[in-house]
Chain A
């Protein structure tokens, strides 16, 4: 996951917190896939509260992660009240705009990669990918990129 690599390099907290947060979100996303959209968002939000205890350097970004979770998993469930939650956390309207645009940009790149079978042989099975995604997910990604399996 190239961008968590950037986060690893740019986050002010420890790398172990990056691994804890991203791995936790991956697992929560897997579990959420079995649920309704509303249930999926609620499940990830509940999981996030636990994750932030284990990865405290991200705790100040709780409102941001909650907002991006909803926008990613269930965009049509967005409400004006969700923006109020960001404002209450100190975000200006320009920053709220930027949060949505950054999330859109990466969702776009995710769809581009998924739709065209993009992989990076140099890093998809490298040490960072293994630490972040785990061996099973890395193997599944390689099989998918090779065209031998669908992603679950």
Chain B
């Protein structure tokens, strides 16, 4: 019997295979053998938003800036700590 996935936000999270578009967008995570991160997955209800945010993230963070990963992650950690957010 399939088990109910653990709730990761206060809104409904569509399954990765709910539409062909979602299946395509989330394929990279599954190839790595993991679920999409919850802060990404929460946008699955709006696939065009999700795609745009992923493109922005790739352009600006995760090594996309000229700062290098070390400084990017320092900025992320400082911002998240001061906002007292887990993300």
Contact = CB atoms under 8 A, between A and B. Distances in A.
A3 B87 contact: yes
Contacts of B87: 1-3, 106, 109-110, 112-113, 118
A3 B77 contact: yes
A120 interface: yes
Contacts of A95: 65-67
A89 to B, nearest CB: 11
Contacts of A124: 86
A61 B77 contact: no
B9 A102 contact: no
Interface in A2-17: 2-4, 6-7, 10-12
A4 B81 CA distance: 9
B32 to A, nearest CB: 14
Nearest to A65: B78
Interface residues of B, number: 37
B42 interface: yes
Contacts of B81: 1, 4, 22, 25-26, 29
A102 B44 CA distance: 23
B12 to A, nearest CB: 11
Contact of A99 (B43, B67, B73, B85): B67
B76 A6 contact: yes
Contact of A64 (B11, B37, B75, B83): B75
Interface in A118-136: 118-121, 124, 129, 133
Interface of B: 6, 8-11, 37-39, 42-43, 53, 56-57, 60-61, 65-67, 69-87
16 contacts: A2-B37, A2-B39, A3-B87, A4-B80, A7-B70, A11-B70, A65-B78, A73-B82, A94-B66, A102-B65, A105-B60, A106-B87, A108-B53, A112-B42, A118-B38, A120-B38
Given A2-B39, A25-B81, 11 more contacts: A2-B37, A3-B87, A29-B81, A29-B84, A68-B75, A92-B66, A102-B60, A116-B10, A118-B8, A120-B38, A133-B86
